[in-house]
Chain A
């Protein structure tokens, strides 16, 4: 089947199998390998991207479901050569080690800060609780998100076009 998906602002039209998962579409069809795959059961969150500005686990969405919609991935976080404060926070606070969970974590963090610019430690922990990191013990991820909150995450907020009722990540 033919689908048209906008990813990080660029429109892509591809012929795909109806069963193709969004994560495989992004990685294998578009070569956007920043989003990762880590489990078979929607538990790890290595694959989190935004679908119409809501974090989703892209291993649990079909590429076909993204047709006509907008996907945002880690590759789109940096804007005009300017790193997102979330990216800077992860570097400044050592919020990553192997880096495998990092893109998913950052996409969720970006969403959290867009909706709650000054989250408490507990709110950050809850926001990323659907995602697994095997390296950091979460401490520095939490600090990284707090760092981003303190260093201008709010100014980077883009106007929310859709306000979603549920977060699936």
Chain B
């Protein structure tokens, strides 16, 4: 369906309306909670009211006696199946249902299966749990204190809350530069705990067929194949009997990568009752128990010359991982890709050290469009550059321009071991400054300040490393991060593409068809994209870390090229010439030097399935498969400028303008790319100004509903002003870099830098997010507070 004539679909890359919209605008999407099976039962989870407590007893008698209850499952039940604990994606363990202790408020304690949603909830009230409260570790900065309560006493020999120490870069060289630097600045920078909060919460429908032994699970998952393998390992079921379906997903943002206890409980519930079981969490459960993001307590230091050449950056991080180390990230990277903290600058040396600790908070850490912790890294370096600008009384845009990597330095080997693939950073920053009218804005700011108005201009420049990743370095729980694609071309020249990644709104059904169209000249409308069903798609690690286009998009281009080469052989047979004598133009092979002699893909497809005689050893048909193992990550980047007005009386921040120039390499569908950026910019405004999950001293979650966890609405968001530069990735088959997380990574610093800039007349150099009216007002008073704890 085309709503407008002027937007005819391209055969290949270009703006094109989305194929998936046809169902969504009619209310005909199929999300997990829309799945209804005959005889289906409903599950609900009983959760801990305490952050840390020993479980003395659980009495499920009254719940079991409820006339509509079919099963009550506790940690003790699971223990008999060896399922009370499950592996996390970081080689730790996590309780499915608590047996010994509860370790965070909202932790799963029991699971009820009943005939309807409401009865399942009613029955939760009938379960009697006796808790013996324990002192809780809430402030991460005290997690390693001698005598701190040991959270993970389930782990043999564990006597503290330490998880890991990890470092990157050259400590000695960095220290030496700091010791001799003309200027050094340091700042404590907190990236507080936030939550991706997709509009659809997490849920599952599990259907175990006792007779065939087949388990089908509809799940809100971004990684259906990885889940299938994990379920096989956890539940001891044969993997070929497990089918994971990730149907339409109402947003993921990294919150739907891991396996949650609710999924496991739904599966056990179905096995126990012999009926399909649906479990869908409510919003409080979502915010309090599923993957949070960030919670990085960072100390950043910059060494520079007096005229503003940045020489070195040193970072120390205390990482709060919650009660179980369940972050979803490549095995060798316990702090994700945080070591990209050198950002977009040409340094002499850099070093970071990260220490991970347990606290009595929900597990998680890698979520919310963070590109494996690059959000934290980009925020830190971009905040620190502004701290340096403050110290040197330099213009933040000029200071960045002075230090940005130059185009001729690419490919660039960073001081912490990354190889940036391509970029022209100064051009992108210049374009953002031109769109914003940077010089005029500074003049306006001066005039506003003279009138006593607080206007701020914030700049950020980010570089991401996405598309994880090369198999030899990157895996999740031992599963290499390569992705498969299969392309079938039917006799009539229409095709079916099966991909290992799935969509939570990114529009894969459209863009992946466009990749095939670009490579084969078959219109996108004629390519059906199948995704999100492990029985129908090849193995791959899923959609997160902006990896779909860099990895699976590459797999798609490669598989289409394989089909094209097969088509060449068939065309040669049809034309009775040597395949080497054929040339390709989009959609057609023709005889070199005789363009009229050619065959279209439609003609070739039919011939490939016909009796046309093919050379010895050539099978018929055109279908092909591919597994793509990326040679390197891709490095999208961008320059953002934010303009804010601050009310000095209330501390309220209004975002007046936001300019974003992104370079994500080749754009498959610019409309979808812009949409991804819009969404990420709203995330940045939200995190910078409103969003935080904090805790009181007892470990009560203070961000457990949308009344407390504030998300930006249309009124807090300005009309985004976008620009683009295109620097293709040299190693990606179509030169694309991925964009899904760019704006979420790059925008918070621009907003915070703008607010701090607005507060310059008060001498403010830093205040932690979120810059709520209370925080801004306190910053004006010279005493910003710690946003991870209850305000004191």
Interface residues of A, Cβ cutoff 8 Å to B: 17, 19-20, 24, 27-28, 31-41, 43-44, 46, 73-75, 77-78, 83, 87-92, 94, 96-103, 106, 121, 124-126, 128-142
Cβ–Cβ contact A102 & B714, under 8 A:
no
Chain A positions within 8 Å of B713 at CB level: 128-132, 138
Q: Would A38 and B201 be within 8 Å (CB), given that A87-B26, A137-B720, A139-B719 are in contact?
A: yes
B675 and A100 within 8 A (CB) = no
Q: A137-B679, A137-B680 are in contact. List 18 more A-B contacts (CB 8 A).
A: A20-B118, A36-B31, A38-B200, A39-B705, A75-B27, A87-B26, A88-B3, A90-B21, A97-B676, A98-B198, A98-B199, A98-B251, A99-B29, A100-B251, A129-B715, A135-B505, A137-B681, A138-B717
Q: Is the CB of A98 within 8 A of B21?
A: no
22 A-B residue pairings within 8 Å (CB atoms): A24-B117, A33-B27, A33-B33, A41-B707, A44-B706, A77-B26, A78-B26, A83-B25, A87-B26, A91-B17, A97-B679, A98-B199, A99-B505, A121-B719, A126-B715, A134-B198, A134-B199, A136-B675, A137-B679, A138-B713, A139-B719, A140-B678
Task: Determine the chain B residues whose CB is within 8 A of the CB of A32 once the complex forms.
Answer: 27
Residues of B within 8 A of A130 (CB): 713
Residues of A contacting B719 in the complex (Cβ-Cβ under 8 angstroms): 121, 139, 142
Chain B residues near A128 (CB-CB < 8 A): 713-714
Question: Residues 12-53 of chain B: 1 if any A CB is under 8 Å from the residue's CB, otherwise 0?
Answer: 000001101111111111110110100000000000000000
B391 at the interface (CB under 8 A from A): no
Complex Cα spacing A131 to B22, Å: 22
Contact in complex: A136, B715 (CB < 8 Å): no
Q: Is B4 an interface residue (CB 8 A)?
A: yes
A149 smallest CB distance to B (angstroms): 14
How far is it, in angstroms, between the C-alpha of A102 and the C-alpha of B28 when the chains are bound?
A: 11
Alpha-carbon distance between A57 and B290 when the two chains are bound, in angstroms: 25
Is residue B671 within 8 Å, beta carbon to beta carbon, of the partner chain? yes
When the two chains form their complex, are residues B284 and A40 in contact, meaning their CB atoms are under 8 A apart?
yes
**Smallest CB-CB separation from B30: which chain A residue?**
A33
Give the shortest distance, in Å, between A21 (CB) and chain B (any CB).
Answer: 9
A98 to chain B, nearest CB (A): 3
Is B253 a contact partner of A91 (Cβ separation < 8 A)?
no
> Which single member of A17, A134, A139 contacts B720 (CB below 8 Å)?
A139
Instruction: Please give the distance in Å from A44's CB to the nearest CB on chain B.
Output: 6
A-contact bits for B295-326, CB 8 A (1 contact / 0 none):
00000000000000000000000000000000
- Chain A's interface: helix, strand, loop or mixed, by majority? loop
Known: A87-B25, A137-B680. A94 touches B199 (CB 8 A): no
A90→B24 CA distance, assembly (Å): 10
Distance (Å) between the CB of A153 and the closest chain B CB? 13
A90 vs B36: C-alpha distance when bound (angstroms): 28
User: Is B162 engaged at the interface, CB distance under 8 Å to the other chain?
Assistant: no
- A98 and B715 contact, CB distance less than 8 A: no
Q: List residues of chain B with CB under 8 Å of any chain A CB.
A: 1, 3-4, 7, 17-18, 20-31, 33-34, 36, 116-118, 196-201, 248-251, 253, 282-284, 504-507, 671-672, 674-682, 705-707, 711, 713-715, 717, 719-720
- Chain B residue nearest to A46 in the complex (CB): B199
Secondary structure of the B side of the interface?
loop
- The interface residues of chain B lying within 8 Å CB-to-CB of A102 are 24-25
- Considering the chains assembled together, what is the distance between the CA atoms of A135 and B369 in angstroms? 11
Q: How far is the CA of A142 from the CA of B715 in the complex (A)?
A: 11
Question: Nearest Cβ in chain B — how far from A144, in angstroms?
Answer: 10
Closest to A76 in B: B27
With a cutoff of 8 Å between Cβ atoms, the chain B residues found around residue A41 in the complex are 283, 705-707
- Of A90, A94, A99, A142, which is in contact with the most chain B CB atoms at under 10 Å from its CB? A99
Q: Could you say which residues of chain A place their CB within 8 Å of the CB of B197?
A: 134
Bound Cα distance A96, B117 (Å) = 29
- Report how far A141 CA is from B682 CA in the complex, Å: 13
Give the complex CA separation of A92 and B7 in angstroms: 8
Contact A28 B506 (CB under 8 A): no
Distance (whole angstroms) from the CB of B21 to the closest CB of chain A: 5
B706–A43 CB distance below 8 A = yes
Select one of B4, B253, B284 contacting A134, CB under 8 A.
B253
Known: A136-B678, A137-B679. A142 touches B714 (CB 8 A): yes
**Given contacts A97-B506, A134-B199, A139-B720, A43 and B707 within 8 Å (CB-CB):** yes
Q: Contact: A92 with B4, CB < 8 Å? A: yes
A34 touching B199, Cβ below 8 Å: no
Do A73 and B27 touch across chains, with their CB atoms under 8 A apart?
Answer: yes
Chain A residues within 8 Å of B27, by CB: 32-35, 73-75, 77, 103
Which residues on A sit within 8 Å (CB–CB) of B199? 36, 38, 44, 46, 98, 100-101, 132-135
Residues of B within 8 Å of A91, CB to CB, are 1, 3, 17-18, 21-22, 25
